Amino acid sequence: MKTGGGKKSQRVRAYTSCNEARKAVKQRRKLEPFKTPAKRYLVSRALGRGGHQGSDTMNIEANKIAGAVLSTLLVVMGLNMTAGIVFAPRKPAVSGFELPSEEPAAAGGAAAAVAEEPIAVRLAKADIAKGEKATAACKACHTFDKGGANKVGPHLFDVYGRNEGSVAGFGYSAAMKGRTDKAWDADALDHFLKNPKAYVPGTIMAFAGIAKPETRADVVAYLNSLADAPKPLPKP
Ligand code: HEC
């Protein structure tokens, strides 16, 4: 009975001229002796259930996945290109940042990177009047005139060429007292006035320093002028 019915269906299917359908029927017939669905499933697996419906579904699924992947790629590429157009980068001729270069100074012959001109060079261009103005801040602690008193700091008349820490009766710091073998020449004053605490560690002179190299030279020239006989300044 069953075989007959099967043949009939085979014939009917044959009209549809669908090979896959015929295969499916054949396979179903092969699986008929296996009674439980579990067994059928296992056997169909072993036979490689390449049924009509199965393979087509697989193909459609695969196509869907491939399509999704491709369209995602397209969208990403499109976004990338649009972003590239919208935010078109301006490429500099030379890559990297332009930093304020210290080369001119180095080319000028100075060895250090942030080169200051030597004090002798700056003194040649120094302005005593400007130096006097720049000492306004010192006047809280120092006197500059001949016979001036000691205040918070020692009097500074004739300080140029004077030994460091050598004003009699002034209470220097221990740090300054230990330096009486050195004299206040242009170089020493330049360094001290740039950063007192760096030049004389432990000094009690509460003054931050004069940052501008030119102003320091002006002050040194002014200090040198405070004497009965100003000393010759170093020549460049
Ligand atoms: C806040 C007070 C104060 C100010 C401002 C100040 N000084 Fe002084 N200065 C002192 C004291 C105190 C000393 C003694 C330092 C020590 O003993 O360590 C001193 C020492 C000195 C010395 C060494 C003198 C020596 O006999 O050895 C010089 C030079 C000097 N000061 C210059 C200046 C100049 C120039 C300025 C201004 C640009 C200035 N000071 C600003 C308080 C001051």
Q: Which atom of ligand 1 is nearest to the CA of 202?
A: 18
Number of H helices, E strands in the chain: 11, 0
pLDDT for res 89: 72
Q: Please check whether residue 28 is in contact with residue 40, taking contact to mean a CB–CB distance below 8 angstroms.
A: no
Instruction: Please report, for residues 11, 27, 31, 54, 172, the alpha-carbon distance to residue 14 in angstroms, rounded to integers and kept in the order given.
Output: 5, 15, 21, 20, 121
CA of 208 to the centre of ligand 1 (A): 11
Please state the domain extents for the chain. Answer: 2-72, 116-225
Q: Which atom of ligand 1 is nearest to the CA of 204?
A: 18
User: Candidates 135, 138, 160, 200: which one to mutate for ligand 1, based on the most atoms within 8 Å of Cβ?
Assistant: 138
CA of 153 to the centre of ligand 1 (A): 5
Residues 116-225: name the CATH superfamily. Cytochrome c-like domain (1.10.760.10)
Residue nearest ligand 1's atom 3 by CA: 141
- H/E segment holding residue 56: helix 52-86
Residues of the chain with pLDDT under 70: 1-18, 20, 47-56, 100-114
Closest CA to 183 of 197, 212, 203, 162: 162
